[in-house]
A and B are shown apart, each in its own frame.
Chain A
Amino acid sequence: MSNDFRTCPDTGFKIHLPADKLIKWNAVTAIVFLLIGGIFGLLVALTRWPAVHILPPDLFYLALTAHGLDVLLVWVIFFEIALLYFTSAVLLNARLVGPKLGWLAYVLMLGGALMTNVAVLRGDSSVMFTSYVPMQAAPDFYLGIILFAVGALIGCGLFFATIIVAKKERTYEGSIPLVTFGALTAAIIAVFTILAGAAILVPTLFWSMGLIAHIDTLMYKVVWWAMGHSSQQINVAAHIAVWYAIAAILFGAKPLSEKVSRFAFLLYILFLQLASAHHLLVEPGLSSEYKIFNTSYALYLAVLASMIHGLTVPGAVEAAQRKKGFNKGLFEWLRKAPWGNPVFSGFAMSVVFFGFLGGISGVMMGTEQLNIIIHNTIYVPGHFHATVVTGTTLAFMALSYWLVPTLWQKELFLPGIAKWQPYLFGIGMALVSTFMMGAGTLGVPRRHWDISFADAAMGFDFPAAAYLMMGLNGISAIVAALGAMIFIINMVGTLLLGKDKVPAAAAPEEPVAPAAPPASAATSYGSAGTMEVPGTFVLALIFLVSFILYYFVNWKYLASVWGLS
């Protein structure tokens, strides 16, 4: 049994070889689908740039469906399965329970993803990823997603089994480390997500096969969003776990208070999924009590949790940096951080953009009254590209810069360009978000092939500023897509062409991930033992002021939309 393990020379992790292999394959498959999905995303953005308008309408909706599917579902979830294996088996020094089932999960997910992609590319299933009934796709579209979900559910099961068996086999002491706890939160939300998905997609599959006559559209939306929204909350929990992991790996940072952070994850488990109702805010047929309970009272507790993480993650970094002597003024700890290391720069931008762009806009649009200002406009994709792209995707990229060379024991293929990649992708994508939100505020609809309404019976003239925003969005999308391509080339290149790692100290060039301090901060339970993080508190104040201002500006704007006098 013991020869099933190897010890990682960089981190001292005891790595279970079957887990190692599964992590690699899931992560690489994820990255390949990011490539496919990213290309579709670029095509969509170039179509929505009125002066370019690259795809005809049928291909536009095909590409939009493929984009949503390949990035939101396939890229993110394959990577998360890799993360679940990593945070359980590797961080707990344990064996992964049931590696054979892990391969079954992998095959189901890959097969399902391919099946759905084929259905979409055939052109008869351009229903977009929400696949709202009564729009109907071919049966294999739904079946592929169902197989994919079954695979993911097996992966979650292995995660639970691994942490329970690890406890029995005493591979760790006391409570699981915070990073693993964050992954546990993600896995719990994932189980709910997948069960809800089965509850809605299985009947829809039967309906598309002609076995069921009718599916109520509103019921579909309620149950579909239990999956659609919650799947985004898997991402939030997972990328916050990644934030804590990166803080631990780069700085040896321990959370300011393990208890407070774990409590914040508990708030996610309890409340985050209820916010699914924010997708139904304009549906007639559901009461205001239902909408407001689920999107306000409950959601704000989850928002509180996010703000706790937003405070304690940079706080942990600040505490660790100050301990190392970066004590001058409020921000020396931040100025002297390794900005040229893609692990750090990706992480830092992920925290900032997720909070400022994604978080603030999300609370605004989740407010029942304000939602109507932007409902179904391109503001919505603007918001979620901030959360799921600059938040989740960028955090996953940052972690990959550490994980891939470490697990493979390879030098990064293009270390020089890797320093720039997070900035290209992160800033490009932040601009995409901002311009989409700007255009959405001017009323530009989402999922719309032609905002000039060239041959429509009833036209509408958007202001010139809306066209400008959509053009700037297209340009930013090119920058972001370039950033994504560089990441993918670098990762796949590292795998195929990367040189074997020379023992850490002998490397001539400044290594991209500095010889990791003992990774113990990621693998153990415990707090930093200090609350003296003045810089972080100043940043938090700036955040709160921006938040409040933006929120109230939108109430003011609402008043002008409805013209109360």
Chain B
Amino acid sequence: MADPGTGAPPPETGGDTGEPIPFMQQLLDNPLLLLFIGVVSPTVLYILWGLMEIVAIPMAQ
């Protein structure tokens, strides 16, 4: 199953044509990699960034 060309109505079956599998498809077919990205990205961008800002707030005297 390559690029758009397969627009034929009958269901595409994953024939082993030996073509290289596109990067996007490899990513989307890898549940554990997706899991990793889905956990790390919000942990860094939302939780850690947020906590670091709070830690940086100066203590009241």
Contact = CB atoms under 8 A, between A and B. Distances in A.
Contact of B54 (A163, A187, A216, A527): A216
Interface residues of A, number: 51
A160 interface: yes
Contact of A290 (B24, B29, B38, B49): B49
A233 B32 CA distance: 19
Contacts, number: 106
Given A195-B39, A230-B42, A188 B49 contact: no
B53 A274 contact: no
A191 B35 contact: yes
B53 A188 contact: no
B14 A175 contact: yes
A274 B45 contact: yes
Nearest to B29: A175
B25 A226 contact: no
A23 interface: no
A266 interface: yes
A529 B28 contact: no
Interface in B1-24: 1, 7-9, 11-14, 24
Nearest to B44: A274
B35 A160 contact: yes
Interface string A521-536: 0001111110000000
A188 B28 contact: no
Contact of A526 (B12, B27, B43, B53): B12
Nearest to B11: A526
Interface string A256-279: 000100110010011101101100
Nearest to A262: B28
B51 A219 contact: yes
Interface string A152-169: 000000001001100000
A163 B46 CA distance: 29
B28 A273 contact: no
B11 A277 contact: no
A219 B38 contact: no
Contacts of B7: 527, 529
Contacts of B34: 184, 188, 266, 269
B36 to A, nearest CB: 9
Contact of A269 (B24, B38, B54): B38
B54 A270 contact: no
Contacts of B37: 269-270
Contacts of B11: 520, 524-526
Given A173-B14, A219-B54, A192 B45 contact: no
Contacts of A195: 39
A471 to B, nearest CB: 39
Contacts of B45: 274, 293-294, 298
Contact of B47 (A188, A196, A529): A196
Contacts of B47: 196, 199, 222-223, 226
B21 to A, nearest CB: 10
A270 B41 contact: yes
Contacts of A222: 46-47, 50-51, 54
B7, B25, B47 — which one has the most chain A CB atoms within 10 A of its CB? B47
Nearest to B25: A175
Nearest to A172: B14
Nearest to A287: B53
A189 interface: yes
Contacts of A219: 51, 54
B13 to A, nearest CB: 6
A286 interface: yes
Nearest to A276: B46
A334 interface: no
A218 B52 CA distance: 12
A181 interface: yes
B60 interface: no
A181 B27 CA distance: 12
Contacts of B25: 175
A188 B46 contact: no
Contacts of A528: 9
A266 B25 CA distance: 11
B8 A529 contact: yes
A173, A189, A298 — which one has the most chain B CB atoms within 10 A of its CB? A173
B12 to A, nearest CB: 5
A268 to B, nearest CB: 9
A329 interface: no
B32 to A, nearest CB: 7
30 contacts: A160-B35, A163-B31, A174-B12, A175-B14, A175-B28, A176-B29, A181-B28, A184-B34, A188-B39, A191-B38, A199-B47, A218-B54, A222-B50, A222-B54, A226-B42, A269-B37, A269-B38, A270-B37, A270-B38, A271-B41, A274-B42, A274-B46, A280-B50, A286-B50, A286-B53, A287-B53, A290-B50, A290-B53, A293-B45, A525-B11
Top 7 A-B residue pairs of the complex, sorted by shortest distance between their CB atoms: A174-B14, A273-B42, A188-B38, A222-B50, A269-B38, A526-B11, A173-B14
Interface of A: 160, 163-164, 173-176, 181, 184-185, 187-189, 191-192, 195-196, 199, 216, 218-219, 222-223, 226, 230, 259, 262-263, 266, 269-271, 273-274, 276-277, 280, 285-287, 290, 293-294, 298, 520, 524-529
Given A176-B29, A188-B35, A262-B28, 9 more contacts: A175-B25, A181-B28, A184-B34, A188-B39, A189-B38, A266-B28, A273-B38, A290-B49, A294-B45
